[in-house]
Amino acid sequence: MSDTPHLSPLRSREGRGGLMRSRRLREAPPMFETAPRRDAIGKVVVVIWILAVAARLILIDQPYVDHWSWRQSDVAAIARNFSEGGFRFAHPQIDWAGNATGYVGTEFPILPFVAAICYQFAGIHEWIGRSQAIVFFAVSLPFLFLLVREIFGSTAAIWATFFFSFAPVNIFAGRSFMPDVPSLSLAIVGLYFFLRWIEDRESVSFLLAAITISLSILIKVTSIVIAAPLLYLAVAGIGDPGRLETKLMRSRDHR
């Protein structure tokens, strides 16, 4: 491939002017992608989003007797104790400690804490806890599409969005009062903004990536696996920008 720095998605050797030209070219739709095709892709993504959210809203007020009932009940107990015990964020409590206070070591309890705040306005209902995972999933789905499209093109992005939306385990977990799907959703959003920062070096993208990835790991420590793609992007984008630049350009050629 010939050296065309004005088409680079990363910082151009030409300086700020080259970067601005690169940004304008990236934001502009490819010449070979017609307007009807772009509209069709957008409609498909919207339909997938609506159906995926609708599938997770079925029996949204169901008691925590479905999959992972013990884990959900634990988080719900922490939320209720926050609501009834004074919102002591650093003192999450469970209900099965007998005569003890019930303080428990757990992940960053932002999810039950937010649910407890909602309890003050709407009362204690199962749909409040379940809806948290649905909201996080709904927010992350467009970012998953954009992330995959940036690397592999629109066709792969649509299929990735479809399978991610309707994988059975994701549907079950995506309506459960647990930190798994919120943590995964934050990791997806953070990975997208980190890629944006690698390409543009804009501090806003880096800040958003840092916040979302940090929350993802705090909510569920197993999300630390996000370090693997982050490390690759950092090495490819900073240590060897030409390699990542070429791959991204080729993926855009097949949107």
What is the predicted pLDDT for the residue at 240? 58
- What percentage of the chain reaches a pLDDT higher than 70? 80
pLDDT digits (tens, 9 = 90+) for 22-34: 444 454 444 445 6
What is the predicted pLDDT for the residue at 5? 44
Amino acid identity, residue 170?
Answer: N
pLDDT digits (tens, 9 = 90+) for 96-133: 877 778 888 888 999 999 999 999 999 999 999 999 99
What is the predicted pLDDT for the residue at 235? 86
Average pLDDT over the chain, rounded to an integer: 84
Q: Taking 50 as the threshold, does the pLDDT of residue 188 lie above it?
A: yes
Q: 18: exposed, middle or buried (C-beta count within 10 Å: 0-12, 13-18, 19+)?
A: middle
- What percentage of the chain reaches a pLDDT higher than 90? 63
* CA-based max dimension of the chain: 73
pLDDT digits (tens, 9 = 90+) for 224-242: 999 999 998 888 876 555 5
SS (H, E, C) the chain: CCCCHHHCCCCCCCCHHHHHHHHHHHHCCCCCCCHHHHHHHHHHHHHHHHHHHHHHHCCCCCCCCCCCHHHHHHHHHHHHHHHHHCCCCCCCECCCCCCCCCECCCCCCHHHHHHHHHHHHHCCCHHHHHHHHHHHHHHHHHHHHHHHHHHHCHHHHHHHHHHHHHCHHHHHHCCCCCCHHHHHHHHHHHHHHHHHHHHHCCHHHHHHHHHHHHHHHHHCHHHHHHHHHHHHHHHHHHHCHHHHHHHHHHHHCCC
Amino acid identity, residue 64?
Answer: Y
What is the predicted pLDDT for the residue at 172? 94
What is the predicted pLDDT for the residue at 246? 53
More confident position, 94 or 130: 130
Neighbouring C-beta atoms of residue 182, cutoff 10 Å: 25
Q: What is the CA radius of gyration of the chain?
A: 21
What is the predicted pLDDT for the residue at 36? 75
Q: Taking 70 as the threshold, does the pLDDT of residue 9 lie above it?
A: no
Model-wide pTM > 0.85: no
Residue with tokens 């948290």: 132
Q: 114: exposed, middle or buried (C-beta count within 10 Å: 0-12, 13-18, 19+)?
A: middle
What is the predicted pLDDT for the residue at 244? 58
What is the predicted pLDDT for the residue at 147? 95
The mean pLDDT of 167-193, rounded to a whole number, is 95
